[in-house]
Structure 1
């Protein structure tokens, strides 16, 4: 006869078996994860570009975008308009960053990421963004409104997200276009 304590030890090392169908909570979590994953893949790169259009470095834009996506995941079931929500949250975080004196990293990207599959192409990717030089010449509000516009938002949608009147958004956009045109003419940047 074998020792009963050994039999108990053997049973305790066996993984518990799950019986029956998964609970509604498990199914809901799986659906939320799948929905968020699709959103993440479709939105991360445009969100990084949106931040770069507002004057961010690629490194800072990637960090803010990742943190914003993590916040969105934690609040996913509470967010009505996720694309607008991540743009607003990321934009606010960028403004907070600009208002602080923080050193920016100057080294190259150390390893591949979803934003730069080949680290050596990060600079090329950033350089291809023809509008960056022009956007950097704009005052912050004009740059912000133009970045939202380049991300596909209408003046009415921008006004709602930035808590401005649509007329103020249109005015900032008009000034941004005028300033951009003047900058291109003065600097000969016809990219």
Structure 2
């Protein structure tokens, strides 16, 4: 029997079987793919077995058991560790800035993020975006102007409280 024929004849059954073991269609698909990859690597030997499909099911069983074992080990390790320290909420200024950035056109938002958050030069941004340097300068200028207009006097100096 050829591997292609074997695959066509058994793939749906094995996928149902793996789904029954995992309860997760994505995980089942990964297990089946790995089982067939292993069968393909050993096809001369596997094809000589009395029931090659049983060999595949055995591989899926073992892969599934390994998956559950890894999940339990990770869970036990996570339970043994202390909880992470609480994280301060974002500042009011950050929330306002993110809201204003969302209103910008994609090109301006990307240019501002590359320039101010990743310290990319205008030339580097031009290369990454495939735009001319003059276009990048325009994006940055228009983006800063749009942010200034959107934020106006809403930015609160650090340590100061806004009157409500």
Query: What range is the shorter-chain TM-score in?
Result: 0.3 to 0.5
More helix by share: 2
TM-score by structure 2 length? Answer: 0.40
TM-score by structure 1 length? Answer: 0.34
Say which structure, 1 or 2, has more relative contact order (CA 8 Å, 6+ apart).
1
Q: Which has the larger radius of gyration?
A: 2
